[in-house]
Structure formats: structure tokens, C-alpha cells
């Protein structure tokens, strides 16, 4: 595709100045200032889905702008859905939107009829899974989470298995059960073995858990047999979302040996609706933890490859009026970078495709308050969490509980947020 319009010089790199302001009102502390401009897929007024951008507490319908000639629709077929999304095209599109939203640009600002058609309160639109997902891969890149699990279930062994510091461990998940924020999940059934019982039973999981993760979408794929290097990996990444990769711990514990997760993980994976671009996250790039031993050459990275992204989990039971924050973590605690995950996945010649979702695995920190799952927070049920408002206790999630995840970067005079990922637990389906 050849673009008929070119972005401004700053747009060639997707950089939006920290001091830039929009004529759209944006409250202090908003997740969605003009420096962010994340993309999503929304159903507006119960009609056809359209690609939208978040700014302040509004969504901007890009199809409405294209209909008035402010965006060249022939250059951006993704305006109605993210199919065969091209990262460079999306970068250009984001900068065109930025130009229209700058405080000194009157083109859209002074067109009240178009503003009324194009802007909608975020609270009044239905956000969808932003990308049609061909496949889903979940990694295990949070070293503190992996270490905690090892301490619980292999107390007489090294908490980390021998391969952990040599490669990003992962598995192929189930793309068909990826759901958006706001969609409830039902308590899954499965086969598990209750404690002290010799034979398994089949029934609703008794140990429903969340996993605090980040995920990213693939933009450009590769040919089968072609490996993607760590240095080139981010060229293939469209942007990031929050991920809650739900777990039925009792089902998983019984089934995972010798082949790994299956029914205990495949019933639901929730994601936040906004794709935060790599360009928006660039100011928050940092060095990751020192990797010892040094990775083999195909996984060796030069320069900062991690991101300083704050993460938070809150829980509200049916009896509570306000949610209670139960965990605070940060993406800097990942042992393996997202670029290394892409390089590892394709190192055997695996073909990845536009829209593939890749998740990091549970992102726990070093302290109990930063653990990214109830398995860790309750230490496998031995230390129940107490809800301050009601005195209730939780070791695992119960029906009617609502879990909310948030993520944001802050510094350099700006805040780049992901919005919220909220899910309520329903009864058995």
C-alpha cells in the first residue's frame, strides 16, 4: 500500500511531544492524553464496528473523519476493522489523528457538526476485542512468579527449573476464548483431585484465579522458516494491552503433567480494549534485569528492551461498595523482554501472523504486595486475603466477585495509560 499523505517529520518516528496539548478537554491524570492516542474497536449506537482512538474521556470514530475526507480511507482499510494491520500505516494514521487534535488545528475543532458525529463518551460505547486473533501464546516470563510457584510446589528443589534462565518458556493457548473487558466469565468445570482424595472428581473449579499480565499484538508476520531476530522483533509488534489469563488452579494442577496447561487455562483470557502503541511507550523504555547466564546469541539483546509500566489489581466482592487494591506490580520485573519472546517463538521457523496475541505470563514483584495472582497472594490458600470493608476473606475468587486491572506509565510530564480491564465472575454455566 502506498500512502497518499505523509505524516509530519515528527510523525515519521511516531513521537508526540511531551508538551503537546489538545483542544479536546483532558483531565489531569487521564490515561488518554494526546501523547497516548491508543486504538480500539468499538460498536457505536449498536451499529457496525469501527476503529476508534481514545482522547480524554471520549472516543473518536475514525470512520466519521474518513467520511468527511479528513482521513484518506483508501489508504487505511483498517478503519472498519483491524485486518492485515500494518504497523507503519497505523503509525501514520496515529500522527494524522494527532495533527487533527492539536490545540492549534481548527479543522476538526471548529466543525461542530462533525465533532458531534465523531466523538462519543467512552462510557456509552461497547468496546470489543480490538483485533481478530488467529492464535494466542502465553509465556512465563515473570521470574518472581515462576520462583514463587517453584517454592510452593517444589520446596526441596531449585525454585526455577534448569531451562528458565536460558529461554522464555511458553505454551500455545486458546484464541477463541479471548474476551474484552466487561465481558463476564462463568466458573468453569473440569476434572480435579480434592486434597486428601485418591481419585479425581468432575465439577466447578474451587480455585479460580487471575493472572496479571501484559500482552502484545503482532502486526507484520514472517514467512515459515524465517526467524525474527531480537533486534528486529519490535518492528513486528503493534502495541500492548493488559491481559488477565484466568486459571483454574485445581484443574491445572491435576492435568498439567506431562504436557502442560490445557482445560485449566483455555476457558477464558480477558484483555483490555485499547492498543497502546510502542511509540507512546517509548519514553518509558528501561533496562531489564541482568540476565545470568548471558542468553545464547539468538536471544542476546543490546540496549534497553523493557518498559516501566505500573500495574495494579483491585477486587470487589458482592458485599463491598468500593474495590480494594490487592496487588501492585510493574512490567520491569519481567525477566525476558517482549522482543526476546518474539525471537524465541520464531527461532524454529514458526510463522507468526498479523493479529496474533502474545502474553507475558504473570508479572509478580519481589514483595508479597506485588504478587500477580491469588495463588501467590494467599500462598496456595494458606494466607487468606482480608477485605477491609467487610471483613470477608478470599483465597480464590468466588461467584459475584469483580476483578479490575489497570496499567500506566508516568513521568516526563505525561501519563500513558491502558484504561481498565474489568471482569465479573458468574456462576457455573
Which residue is associated with the grid cell 531489564?
A: 288
Kindly state the cell numbers that stand for 352. 507468526
Q: How far apart are CA 164 and CA 166, in angstroms?
A: 6
> In terms of Cα–Cα distance, which of 296, 294, 282, 299 is closest to 341?
299
Nearest alpha carbon to residue 352 among 233, 230, 176, 178: 233
* Distances in whole angstroms, Cα of residue 428 to Cα of each of 205, 208, 404: 9, 12, 21
- Residue with cell string 487468606: 384
Catalytic, 145? Answer: yes
- Pairwise CA distance, residues 236 & 219, whole Å: 5
Judged by DSSP in three states, 51 sits in: strand
Q: Which three cell numbers stand for residue 365?
A: 514483584
Catalytic residue among 120, 145, 306, 333: 145
Q: For residues 104 and 388, what is the distance between their CA atoms, to the nearest angstrom?
A: 48
Task: Find out whether 330 and 311 touch, Cβ atoms under 8 Å.
Answer: yes
Whether 363 contacts 320, CB under 8 Å: no
Going from the C-alpha of 370 to that of each of 151, 165, 289, 363, the distances in angstroms are 17, 22, 17, 9
Q: Any idea which residue has 512468579 for its cell?
A: 145
Q: Which residues contact 110 (CB under 8 A, 6 or more apart)?
A: none
Of 352, 344, 348, the C-alpha closest to 299 is: 344
Pairing type for strands 310-316 and 119-121 reads unpaired
| Beta-sheet strands, E only, within 331-413 | 357-359, 385-386, 393-394, 402-411
How many Cα neighbours within 13 Å face the side chain of 258? 0
Task: Return the residue matching grid coordinates 517453584.
Answer: 150
Nearest one of 175, 142, 176 to 373, comparing CA atoms: 142
Cell triple for 298: 539468538
Strand-strand pairing, 269-271 and 136-139: unpaired
Catalytic annotation, residues: 145
Amino acid at each position: 500500500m502506498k500512502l497518499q499523505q505523509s505524516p509530519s517529520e515528527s510523525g515519521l518516528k511516531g513521537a508526540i511531544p511531551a508538551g503537546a496539548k489538545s483542544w479536546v478537554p483532558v483531565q489531569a491524570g487521564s490515561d488518554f492524553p494526546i501523547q497516548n492516542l491508543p486504538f480500539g474497536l468499538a460498536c457505536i449506537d449498536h451499529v457496525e464496528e469501527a476503529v476508534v482512538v481514545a482522547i480524554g474521556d471520549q472516543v473518536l470514530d475514525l470512520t466519521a473523519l474518513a467520511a468527511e475526507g479528513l482521513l484518506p480511507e483508501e489508504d487505511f482499510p483498517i478503519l472498519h476493522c483491524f485486518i492485515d494491520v500494518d504497523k507503519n500505516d497505523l503509525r501514520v494514521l496515529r500522527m494524522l489523528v494527532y495533527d487533527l487534535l492539536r490545540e492549534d488545528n481548527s479543522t476538526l475543532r471548529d466543525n461542530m457538526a462533525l465533532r458531534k458525529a465523531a466523538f462519543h463518551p467512552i462510557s456509552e460505547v461497547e468496546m470489543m476485542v480490538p483485533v481478530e486473533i488467529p492464535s494466542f501464546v502465553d509465556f512465563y516470563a515473570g521470574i518472581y512468579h515462576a520462583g514463587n510457584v517453584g517454592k510452593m510446589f517444589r520446596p526441596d528443589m531449585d525454585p526455577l527449573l534448569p531451562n528458565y534462565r536460558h529461554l522464555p518458556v511458553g505454551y500455545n493457548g486458546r484464541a477463541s476464548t479471548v474476551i474484552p473487558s466487561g465481558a463476564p466469565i462463568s466458573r468453569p468445570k473440569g476434572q480435579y483431585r480434592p486434597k486428601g482424595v485418591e481419585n479425581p472428581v468432575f465439577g466447578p473449579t474451587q480455585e479460580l484465579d487471575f493472572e496479571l499480565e501484559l500482552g502484545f499484538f503482532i502486526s507484520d508476520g514472517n514467512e515459515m522458516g524465517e526467524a525474527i531476530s531480537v533486534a528486529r522483533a519490535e518492528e513486528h509488534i503493534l502495541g500492548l494491552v493488559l491481559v488477565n489469563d484466568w486459571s483454574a488452579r485445581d484443574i491445572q494442577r491435576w492435568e498439567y503433567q506431562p504436557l502442560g496447561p490445557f482445560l485449566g487455562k483455555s476457558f477464558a483470557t480477558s484483555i483490555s480494549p485499547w492498543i497502546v502503541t510502542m511509540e507512546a511507550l517509548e519514553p518509558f523504555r528501561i533496562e531489564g534485569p541482568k540476565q545470568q547466564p548471558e542468553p545464547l546469541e539468538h536471544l542476546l539483546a543490546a540496549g534497553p528492551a523493557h518498559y516501566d509500566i505500573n500495574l495494579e489489581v483491585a477486587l470487589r466482592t458482592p458485599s463491598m461498595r468500593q474495590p480494594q487494591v490487592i496487588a501492585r506490580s510493574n512490567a520491569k520485573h519481567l525477566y525476558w523482554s517482549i522482543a526476546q519472546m518474539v525471537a524465541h517463538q520464531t527461532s524454529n521457523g514458526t510463522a507468526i501472523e498479523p493479529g496474533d496475541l502474545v502474553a507475558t505470563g504473570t508479572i509478580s514483584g519481589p514483595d508479597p504486595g506485588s504478587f500477580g495472582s491469588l495463588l501467590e497472594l494467599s500462598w496456595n490458600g494458606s494466607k487468606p486475603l482480608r477485605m477491609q470493608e467487610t471483613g470477608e476473606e478470599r483465597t480464590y475468587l468466588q461467584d459475584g466477585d469483580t476483578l479490575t486491572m489497570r496499567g500506566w506509565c508516568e513521568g516526563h510530564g505525561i501519563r500513558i495509560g491502558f484504561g481498565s480491564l474489568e471482569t465479573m465472575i458468574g456462576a457455573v454455566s
